Chains A and B, each alone.
Chain A
Amino acid sequence: MKDWFSKGSPWIWLSGGAVSICMVAVTGLVLMIAINGLSHFWPKPVVEFEYRLPGQSEGQRVIGEVNRTETMTAIAMREAGLTVPEGQELVTRHMIKRGNRDVTGQDFVWYLDDHMYDRRFPRDILVLERLTWGDFYGYLVDYRIDGEVVAEGAEARAAFRQRMAETADLVREINVIERVDIGDVNFRMEQLRLRDRGLNLNERLSEAQREQARAEMAERQAALDEDYAVLEQRRNELRHEVGRYAITMETMEGQMRTIRLDAVVHAWWPNDMSMFQKMGHYGRNFWDFVSGYPREANTEGGILPAIYGTVLMVILMSIVVTPFGVLAAIYLREYAKQGWLTRVIRISVNNLAGVPSIVFGVFGLGFFVYFLGGNIDRLFYQEALPSPTFGSPALIWASLTLALLTLPVVIVATEEGLSRIPRSIRDGSLALGATKAETLWRTVIPLAAPAMMTGVILSVARAAGEVAPLMLVGVVKLAPSLPLDGNAPFLHLDRAFMHLGFHIFDVGFQSPNVEAGRPLVYATALILVALIIVLNLTAMIIRNRLRERYRSESD
């Protein structure tokens, strides 16, 4: 033993352990996000039990999903004012998701394992995912049309199921009308309003021209009003139709609740599902998540706008950053005179990669949003003032800020690629009489292209995960409309947008019901992590291939 120590082997093991700890931590972290994120969509069994404190003869019936389980010391629990049987030192407690927020007010409650009796998983427990108030747990009692009971018991279940599918179609149609068609009309009305204000501000117009323009606008306004009336009527009809159907549910306290079908998103009997059905349910939930709009202060529903915003922002950013970064690198490596100045510049550019991202955010807010945006508004969007068009956080400013932030990444990667290209290739090309530009274009750049790709991919990965600067220059909690839609000019650079990373921050830390939003945060995090890992792996693979290629070419 002494010998083993004096040779220093323990320290080798210890340093080996440091690597193991890092590896365990990083895999554990990714796994934890993956497991938590993926399990969110699986229909969990719903347990029913009686919760009876000692000394009570009558317990309370509880229905819900087991959210998580913890072991605590009995003393800590007693200090918290809970009754724990004498002589017991450890306590297991379960967090039960009871749902029914509108009935009980508390949808997540801790229950001590010791007082839970008579646990069972009834097959006819029905879970409803609702548009508002979260999930609902209970038993289906009857099915009603226009308030009249039509079916009860097993019949009700069949009738409800069938009706649910039809209602879902109608609700989808209502959503399309409200979100797309009416949104479209509103957008055009707003354009008209702004044009009207613009007319008043424009002093060069004569009164006659103004009158003519006004008349034309009034005509269009009338047409739009008419469109709106038609749409509204259709929507009201549909609303009336879906509002006719309802079911009655019995809650765990034995209360009866009538729930309209149009308030229900999904309905399922979790304890009565086959593996196949569960998988179907899983798939549908997952699809709803990635293709749906958020609800209930972002704690429910989907994250489509966030994905959309992230992707669009990153694309715009890479459109900006690629040419600038690559050209700057070519300049530094191929054209600039190599000397102390280029060295200073190179070090500075390298160091910019280490400057905190929030500093870029502050710069973006001050320079892009307030200075550039404010001036653009004063020059071109005077009719909309004082409400800002470009003078507020917007997609374009977010993209530009992140382009600046990731510029060093692209420059450094491209420079590295250029420096790896053997001198002989350049010399060969020049010796054959090609000009410098031709050498660059025909030989150097094609060879360095993968390095540039790597740089761009890495910059995209960095940009996709960056949140702090975006909080200042563009993201919002909830964007009313997507930055790319069917209204001219289609790409709305002046709109604020939603972002996956900010969504995580917002739902996890600023929402009123953190517990309800938690699974969603994990699922969102999973998507973001997956995106970034894929991007990074791609960059790594490209880089490794590149190295192999040069190894053979430089020989």
Chain B
Amino acid sequence: MNQSAPSLSSAGREPGQPGALPDGERRKRLRRWRTIKDYFAKYSVGTFGVGVIIALALIFVYLFSEVAPMLRPASLTVEAQYPAPGGTQAETLHIAMDRHKAVAVRYTSEREAVFFNTVDGSVIRREALPIPEDVRVTAFGLAEPRNRLSIFGLENGEALLVRHEFNESFSRDGRLYNPSLVYPVRDGERVLLDVAGDGSGIASIAIQRGSTGTSVAAALDDGRLRLVRFEETTSFLTGEVTVRRNAYDIPRLPEGAEPTRVLLDITMRHLLVGDNQGHLHYYDVSRPAQAERVDSKRIIRADSAEVSALEYLLGTVSVIVGGSEGSVSQIMLVRDEDNINRITRVRDFESHASAVTGISPEYIRKGFVTYDAGGNLKLHYSTSYRTLLSRTVTDAPLALVHMAPRANGLFAVDNQERVHKVDVFNPHPEVSVRALWGKVWYEGRSQPEYVWQSSSATDEFEPKFSLMPLTLGTVKAAFYAMLFAMPLAILGAVYSAYFMSPKLRQLVKPSIEIMEALPTVILGFLAGLWLAPFAERNLPAVFSILLLMPVFLIFAGYVWMKWMPRALLQRVPDGWEAAILVPVVIFVGWACVVLSPWVEIALFSGDMRQWLTDVGITYDQRNAMVVGIAMGFAVIPTIYSISEDAVFNVPKHLTQGALALGATPWQTVTRVVLLTASPGIFSAVMIGFGRAVGETMIVLMATGNSPVMNFNIFEGMRTLSANIAVEMPEAAVGGTHYRILFLAALVLFVLTFFLNTIAEIVRHRLRKRYSSL
């Protein structure tokens, strides 16, 4: 204790005064000294006490403070405005900045690339593109923005593929840039690639580049569609790259439709063509020679409206459509029952007041920005069905907007060729009530679903943050645990509080307390490594124990009471039934296991697990049944000891009164004891449930941790707590995933706190009632 209460320790070492009283002066000094110490003790204990309580409150505050940033709305601020670097007389085809938002490039219609400083628009470098003076640029296309790859379609049917590099390097003075242009695909020595084949002009062009090669899709002036593939092979001897060019003609659009926009996905299998009548056409080009139109659909709702913008999102799975009436919606290819991809409208976003002039996707997320002729722009996020922000940046119509690589900024260029550099604050667009708790139509799925899948190996992955499977898994695990624990714990509590002999009780209570102290990691390991395979092998045994055990217990009691010799019965006092039944429990358990294979042969054609599969029930080795038993085992002591307390403290005069009126002991229990103690038992169940909800190690070890959405007892689950344990160490600090895990922790915290508080209040009331009875 000495080190724990330094303030008090000196009081113990006060010099004693043997014999006569000290003189008045010394007594006064002593008294003052003692008062000081008393004050000191009071305030230091107070500080510590309040400090500890504040520390505990801090947990809640901190958890909330980590979740709160998700609630902050997105915002944007215009940081700088300047006339387009490199001259405003040329039109901006594309503008993009590096990931630190320090350097940017602008491609102009005057066949030039201008690298400039984003802060003030000062030009760093200008480079002319190798396009002949007299040839006009008629089309422009972008690969996925993160590839920094652009293509210029020319009026002579050729195209130029160019990639800009910012080439950052680090030195003592900070970051240095040496931007340059690269022409990654050449046809022989030429950088200009022949697309049309016959010199007709290119109206619209699309490009994608993957590990195997590059594909260019184009719509020509005369309405023909062309697909050109450049397959690159690297000779492993010389390291030389040879490019093979294959050009294909793709079937035309139906009569009367003029292609306005072509889109090619990164797998280079799907070609989407938009036309001037608001239709989208889907071509399967996985074998370009046999390319065919699979589906066509009008993708704009309003009859009079036209499609004014069409752009892929990251991963090129879904397409955002902007309409001339201002509508914004998302389209995906979804497989129907016949396994054919169909153009399907997935969701709509907040509309613009005027025609959508363009769409710019984010580099690394499924967000995008749309802008309109009124100078207004809106930030959207696909997975969360959200429109996060709507702001007018300038009064002039916006001609071009492009997101920064980290989605923390954007360039907006208006029709007067003024560049607005905008800072965007939008860290958690993935979160919405709908995304967390509702059904969401994810990319690549055929319908809206509840899915938790927070990460994957690829960059274009769409994180799926539905908390529903986890919540359901938590409830499922807790439900089966309670199903197992409640009857055992409550019956056991009633028995040991009311019927059991005091001697036996002295033995039972500590054992149950030991049971409570057993680390859950041990229960989890036994459940996962021993019980799960055992139950899989001896499924009939598990169920026959469940069914036969109560029957045999009662039967054993009957046998004992009726057939045992009187002499023996008298030797065993009342309240020892539990001890007598121990051998019965062991015997029934053992017999069920031994007989299990025979039951299997007799009833389940020799293999119950196979039989279940044949009936159509999925069986996982580590399933809800195993968790129910193991976690039930963990919560039995909690429920038992609290309800035992409640039953034991039922005032004796009540039960004695009932017995005196002629009720049998069991009648007394059901009509008097249980009724009086029911609030206590209720609070025991609440606390037990709270424990089951938060338990981590058992579910982590005894299930497969797959986030499924069902209540099948033979399948596993993933709970909120296990999910935190699995994913927290890998979550990027401050990211949306990290904060959602904090949210899960907060939900657990609040839920268990709430359950426990109810239980505590109920218990408190009960105690009062007992004392008044």
State whether the Cβ of B600 lies closer than 8 Å to any Cβ in chain A.
Answer: yes
**Residue contacts A-B, CB under 8 angstroms, 15 given:** A4-B562, A8-B665, A16-B499, A16-B557, A19-B492, A324-B51, A330-B45, A356-B721, A358-B724, A404-B55, A408-B56, A472-B729, A504-B525, A532-B517, A536-B517
Q: Residues of B contacting A468 with CB < 8 Å?
A: 520, 696-697, 700, 721, 725
**What is the bound-complex CA distance between A9 and B558, given in angstroms?**
9
Known contacts A25-B633, A355-B694; A464/B577 CB under 8 A: no
Nearest Cβ on chain A to B581's Cβ, whole angstroms: 4
Bound form: Cα–Cα A264–B374 in Å = 81
- Let me know if A19 and B508 touch, CB within 8 A: yes
Q: Decide if A222 is an interface residue (CB 8 Å cutoff).
A: no
The verdict on A380 contacting chain B, using a C-beta distance below 8 Å, is no
- B453 beta carbon closer than 8 Å to chain A: no
Distance in angstroms from B609 CB to nearest chain A CB is 8
Residues in B lying within 8 Å of A, measured CB to CB: 1, 3-5, 7-9, 11-12, 34-35, 37-38, 40-42, 45-46, 48-53, 55-59, 62-63, 66, 487-489, 491-492, 494-496, 499-500, 508, 510-515, 517-522, 524-526, 528-530, 537, 549-550, 553-554, 556-558, 561-562, 577-582, 584-586, 589, 597-598, 600-601, 605-607, 609-610, 633, 636, 640, 664-667, 669-670, 687, 690-691, 693-697, 700-701, 721, 724-725, 728-729, 733, 741-742, 745, 748-749, 752-753, 755-757, 760-761
Chain B residues near A24: list those with CB within 8 A: 582, 585-586, 589
The CA-CA distance from A176 to B589 in the complex, in Å, is 52
Q: Which residues of B contact A79 (CB under 8 A)?
A: 607, 610
Smallest Cβ-Cβ distance to B668: which chain A residue: A8
Given contacts A330-B49, A355-B752, contact A366 B62 (CB under 8 A): yes
0/1 per residue, A514-555, Cβ < 8 Å to B? 100010010001001100110011001000000000000000
Contact A437 B554 (CB under 8 A): no
The interface residues of chain B, by DSSP majority, are classed as: helix
Alpha-carbon distance between A108 and B499 when the two chains are bound, in angstroms: 50
- List chain B residues, Cβ under 8 A from A502: 521
Write the chain A residue with the least CB distance to B586: A24
* CB of A313 within 8 Å of the partner chain: no
Contact of B606 among A10, A25, A73, A529 (CB under 8 A): A73
Q: Is the CB of A533 within 8 A of B725?
A: no
A297 in the interface (beta carbon within 8 A): no
- A327 contacts B52, C-beta separation under 8 Å: yes
Given A435-B35, A465-B520, the answer on whether A362 and B491 have CB atoms closer than 8 Å is no
List chain A residues, Cβ under 8 A from B701: 505, 508-509
CB distance from A5 to the nearest CB of B (A): 9
Chain B proximity of A241: nearest CB distance (Å): 42
Q: Map CB proximity to B onto A353-374 as digits: 1 under 8 Å, 0 otherwise.
A: 0111111111101110010000
A73 to B63, CA, bound (A): 53
B685 → chain A closest CB, angstroms: 13
- A165 proximal to B (CB < 8 A): no
Q: A10-B557, A76-B607 are in contact. Are A440 and B8 (CB under 8 A)?
A: yes
Is there a chain B Cβ closer than 8 Å to A149's Cβ? no
**Docked complex Cα distance between A327 and B35 (Å):** 20
Across the interface, B549 reaches (CB within 8 A) one of A17, A325, A348, namely: A17
- Asked if A429 lies at the interface with its beta carbon under 8 angstroms from chain B, I say no
- By a CB distance below 8 angstroms, the chain B residues around A124 are none
Chain A residue nearest to B589 in the complex (CB): A24
Asked if B518 and A465 sit within 8 Å, CB to CB, the answer is yes
Is there an interface contact between B521 and A467, defined as CB atoms closer than 8 Å?
A: yes
Looking at A110-118, A268-276, A278-286, A441-449, the stretch in contact with chain B turns out to be A441-449
Asked if B5 and A354 sit within 8 Å, CB to CB, the answer is: no
Tell me if A355 and B753 are in contact (CB < 8 A): yes
Q: Is A20 an interface residue (CB 8 A)?
A: yes
Q: Please give, as numbers and ranges, the residues of chain B lying within 8 Å of A312 by CB-CB distance.
A: none
Asked whether B553 lies within 8 Å of A19 as measured between CB atoms, the reply is no
Partner of A347, one of B601, B721, B760: B760
Residues of A1-43 at the interface with B, using a CB-CB cut-off of 8 Å, are 1, 4, 7-27, 29-30, 32-33
Report A339 CB to chain B, min CB distance, Å.
15
The number of chain A residues with a CB under 8 A from chain B is: 111
Q: What chain A residues lie within 8 Å of B745 (beta carbons)?
A: 358-359, 362-363
A25 to B517, CA, bound (A): 15
Q: A73-B600, A533-B514 are in contact. List 18 more A-B contacts (CB 8 A).
A: A1-B558, A8-B669, A10-B557, A12-B495, A17-B549, A22-B488, A72-B537, A90-B598, A327-B45, A335-B45, A355-B748, A363-B63, A441-B9, A441-B41, A449-B1, A501-B521, A505-B525, A508-B525
A363 to B745, CA, bound (A): 9
On whether A356 and B752 interact (CB within 8 A), knowing A19-B495, A435-B34, the answer reads: yes
A407 to B601: give the CA distance in the assembly, Å.
Answer: 55
| Shortest beta-carbon distance from A314 to chain B in Å | 13
Closest 5 CB pairs of A and B: A356-B694, A331-B49, A8-B666, A75-B606, A465-B519
Q: Is the CB of B694 within 8 A of A357?
A: yes
Residues on B with beta carbons closer than 8 Å to the beta carbon of A411? 52
Supposing A75-B607, A335-B49, A336-B49 touch, asked if A356 and B511 sit within 8 A by C-beta, the answer is no
A348 proximity list for chain B (CB < 8 A): 56-57, 753
Q: A26-B514, A327-B4, A532-B517 are in contact. Are A525 and B522 (CB under 8 A)?
A: yes
Is there an interface contact between A323 and B5, defined as CB atoms closer than 8 Å? yes
A104 at the interface (CB under 8 A from B): no
Interface centre among A7, A23, A360, A411 (most CB of B within 10 A): A23
Q: Is A328 an interface residue (CB 8 A)?
A: yes
* Pair A8/B664 contact, Cβ less than 8 Å: yes
Is A71 part of the contact surface with B, judged by Cβ < 8 Å?
yes
Let me know if A332 is at the binding interface, CB within 8 A. Answer: yes
Q: Does A352 contact B (CB under 8 A)?
A: yes
Q: CB-nearest residue of chain A relative to B52?
A: A328
Q: Give the residues in chain A near B66, CB-CB below 8 Å.
A: 366
Identity of the chain B residue whose Cβ is nearest the Cβ of A449 in the assembled complex: B1
**Interchain CA distance A486-B79 in the complex, whole Å:** 57
A19 touches B578 (CB 8 A): yes
Contacts of A504 in B (CB 8 A): 521-522, 525
Please determine whether B59 and A363 come into contact, CB atoms closer than 8 angstroms: yes
A436 within 8 A of B: yes
Out of A22, A331, A355, A505, name the residue touching B636 (CB < 8 Å): A22
Cross-chain contact B696 with A356 (CB below 8 angstroms): yes
Known A-B contacts A22-B512, A22-B636, A461-B517; A347 and B56 likewise in contact (beta carbons under 8 Å): no
Cα-based distance from A21 to B752 in the complex (angstroms): 28
A466 interface contact, C-beta 8 A? yes
Q: Name which of B513, B578, B601, B700 has the most chain A CB atoms within 10 A of its CB.
A: B578
Q: Does A224 contact B (CB under 8 A)?
A: no
Residues of B within 8 A of A291 (CB): none
Assess whether A145 is interfacial by the CB under 8 Å rule: no
A318 → B minimal CB distance (Å): 11
- In the complex, what residue of chain A is closest to B698 when comparing beta carbons? A468
Bound: A323/B48 CA distance, A: 9
| A345 in the interface (beta carbon within 8 A) | yes
A465 to B634, CA, bound (A): 13
Q: Does A13 contact B554, Cβ atoms closer than 8 Å?
A: yes
**Closest chain B CB from A303 CB (angstroms):** 14
Contact bitstring A340-355, B, C-beta under 8 A = 1, else 0: 0000010111111011
Is residue A89 within 8 Å, beta carbon to beta carbon, of the partner chain? yes
Is A304 an interface position by the 8 A CB rule? no
Instruction: Evaluate contact between B561 and A4: CB separation under 8 angstroms.
Output: yes
CB of A242 closer than 8 Å to a CB of B:
no
> Which residues of chain B have C-beta atoms less than 8 A from A501's C-beta?
519, 521-522, 697
- CB of A298 closer than 8 Å to a CB of B: no
A335 to B52, CA, bound (A): 15
* A407-B56 CB under 8 A given contacts A16-B578, A441-B11, A465-B518: yes
Within 8 Å of chain B (Cβ to Cβ): is A126? no
Inter-subunit contact A354/B519 (CB<8 Å):
no
Give chain A nearest CB distance to B753 CB in angstroms.
Answer: 5
- Closest CB of chain A to B608's CB: distance in Å? 9
CA distance A326 to B48 in the complex (A): 10
Q: How far is the CA of A372 from the CA of B697 in the complex (A)?
A: 27
